[in-house]
A and B are shown apart, each in its own frame.
Chain A
Amino acid sequence: MSNYVDRFDAFDRIVHWTLAVSFILLVLSGLGLFAHTFFGYFGLFGGPQQGIMAHKIAGVVFLVCSVLLFLRHMGELCRFDADDRRWIVKMGGYLSRRHEDIPQGKFNAGQKLFGIFSFVAALVMGITGYVIWEPTAFGRELTQFSLMLHGLFFVLWMVGMIVHVYLATIGNPGTLEGMLYGQVRKAWARKHASKWFQKVAGNR
C-alpha cells in the first residue's frame, strides 16, 4: 500500500507554480517603482521601460492564475466550521511545540484565510493596476488612491508570502511535496488535515 495520498492535481500544480513565477517577476520588476534603492532591479529586464512592460504582462498572468485557483477551491476555502474557529483561537497550535489536535479539512483555517486574502489582494492589485496602467487615463484622485493601494497591498502580499513560504516549507516538513508532485505522506495528512484524510482514505 502506498504511503502517499493525492493532494493537488497537475492543473493545480501548474497554475500554482505559474502564479509563483509571475509573483517573483512582479516583485523584481515592481521594486524599482517602489523605492529608489531597488532601481537597479530594472537591469534584470533590460531597462526600466522593459521592466514596466514585464510587470504589466506578469500582472495579467498573476491575476488570471489567482482567479483560476480561487474558483477551483472556493468551496473549501470559504467554509468555516467550529474546528476552524478553534484553530484560529489557538493560532493553529503554532505558538507551542505541543501538537494541538484540531481536526482540519483539506485546508486548515489559516490556509483558508490566506487563500481568501490572496484572492482579494489579487483583485485589488488587478483593479488598481488597471487604473495605473496609464497613470493619466483616469482622474487624478482615483489614480493617486490606486497608487497608494497598489503599494499597500504589495506590502501585505510580501508579508503574507513570507509566512506562506515559511509554513509551506521548513515550518511544516512534508507540505511542499503536495505542491511539487501532488502527493503528501499519509502521516502528514493525518496530522495536518485529518478530516480531509478520513474523507479521501474512506473513499478507497
Chain B
Amino acid sequence: MKRKAFLVDTTRCTACRSCQVACKQWNKLEADSTVNRGSYENPPDLTPMLYNQIHFIEQDRGEDLRWLFINRRCLHCADAGCVKVCPSAGALYHTREGLVAYNRDKCIECHYCVNGCPFDVPRYDARRKVTKCHGCSDRVQNGLLPACVKACPTKTLQFGDRDQLIAEARAAGKKLYGEKDLGGLGVLYVLDDEPGTYRLPKNPAIPASIFFWKDVVKPLGILGFWGALGAAALHYVTVGPKKIDAPDEQQHKGGE
C-alpha cells in the first residue's frame, strides 16, 4: 500500500474551522467549555476532545495585524516518538496507509506517548486513555476522505498519495515542511514563514532523552544483564569462591 499523507497549505487557510467542527462531529467529541481570551483562536490548544485545532498567530505590525493560521494535529510521523515509547504493542500503530492510529483497549494509561512526541500532540481522555488525530483511519480504509479534509472549503487540507502530493506541491513551486524529517511526516505543511512562527520545531526529531532511553539505555540493559551474569559465572568457575576455610588464609598476621 502506498503511503498516504495530508498536505496543509497554510497560505490558503481562512480559519473557518470547519475542520475542527467536522472532526468533532465524525469522532463524536463533546465541545470543550472555554473562556474568551480576546482571540478568535478557541480552544487555545489540542485537548482530549479536540484532535485538530486552528492555531492563530496574531502579529501586531503597527497599523496592520498579521494573521497566520495553521491546522495543528498529529503529524503521523513515519519514525513516530509516540509509537517508540509506547510499552503496549499495538496501542499505537501505523496503519497500512502510514497513519498513526491507536487502539484504546490496548492503551495501558501510562501517559508516556505525549513525552515521546516531538510535537506535544497526544492527550488523555476521562478514562485516562490516549486520544489524538488518527487520520480518520476508519474512513480512509473505506475509501473516504478524512472528515476534516472533506469539510475544508478552501482546499487548505488535502489528503492522498504522499508522493503525488509532494510532486504536485513541487510543481506549484511550494516549499514543504516535513518531507524528510522523522522518516517523512504524514502531514506536510506549506508555510508562509519560519516553522518557529507556527510553533513548529525547525528540525523536528525524537526528543534527545527519549532517543537515549530507547536506543542506548535499553540495549545497554540487555548487555549489562547478560554481561553481569556471565561475568559472575566465569568468576565462579575460574577464580572460584572465597571459602572461609581455604588453606593458607588463616594465621597470616590477621589484623595488622
Contacts and interface: CB of A to CB of B under 8 A. Distances in A.
Contacts of A144: 115, 207-210, 213
Contacts of A136: 111, 114, 124
Interface stretch (B10-18, B92-100, B182-190, B227-235): B227-235
A39 B235 contact: no
Contacts of A96: 239
A162 B244 contact: no
A155 B228 contact: no
A135 B218 contact: no
Interface string A160-188: 00110010001111100000000001011
Contacts of A159: 224-225, 227-228
Interface centre among B89, B225, B241, B249 (most CB of A within 10 A): B241
A170 B237 CA distance: 11
Contacts, number: 141
A147 B213 contact: yes
Interface residues of B, number: 47
Interface in A46-100: 48-49, 52, 93-99
Interface in B231-256: 232, 235-236, 239-246, 248-250, 252-256
B247 to A, nearest CB: 9
B116 to A, nearest CB: 8
A21 interface: no
A191 B249 contact: yes
B224 A99 contact: no
B217 A99 contact: no
A154 interface: yes
Given A136-B111, A140-B115, A140-B120, A190 B239 contact: no
Given A158-B225, A171-B236, A99 B110 contact: no
A159 B227 CA distance: 8
A22 interface: no
B144 interface: no
A99 B255 contact: no
A96 B248 CA distance: 14
Contact of A134 (B87, B111, B244): B111
Given A33-B110, A163-B232, A191 B239 contact: no
Interface stretch (A8-16, A109-117, A194-202): A194-202
B187 to A, nearest CB: 20
B91 to A, nearest CB: 10
Contacts of A166: 232, 235-236
Contacts of B167: none
Given A144-B207, A173-B243, A185-B244, A162 B229 contact: yes
A98 B240 CA distance: 10
A151 B241 contact: no
Contacts of A6: none
Given A35-B87, A101-B253, A135-B111, 18 more contacts: A48-B87, A93-B242, A94-B242, A95-B239, A96-B239, A97-B239, A103-B254, A103-B256, A144-B207, A147-B112, A151-B221, A155-B224, A158-B224, A159-B224, A172-B242, A174-B244, A191-B249, A197-B255
Interface of A: 32-36, 39, 42, 48-49, 52, 93-99, 101, 103, 134-136, 140-141, 143-145, 147-148, 151-152, 154-156, 158-159, 162-163, 166, 170-174, 185, 187-188, 190-192, 194-195, 197-198
Interface of B: 85, 87-89, 108-112, 114-115, 120, 124, 207-210, 212-213, 217-218, 220-221, 224-225, 227-229, 232, 235-236, 239-246, 248-250, 252-256
19 contacts: A35-B221, A36-B89, A49-B109, A98-B248, A99-B249, A99-B252, A135-B111, A140-B114, A143-B115, A144-B115, A144-B207, A144-B210, A151-B218, A158-B221, A159-B225, A159-B227, A190-B250, A191-B249, A198-B254
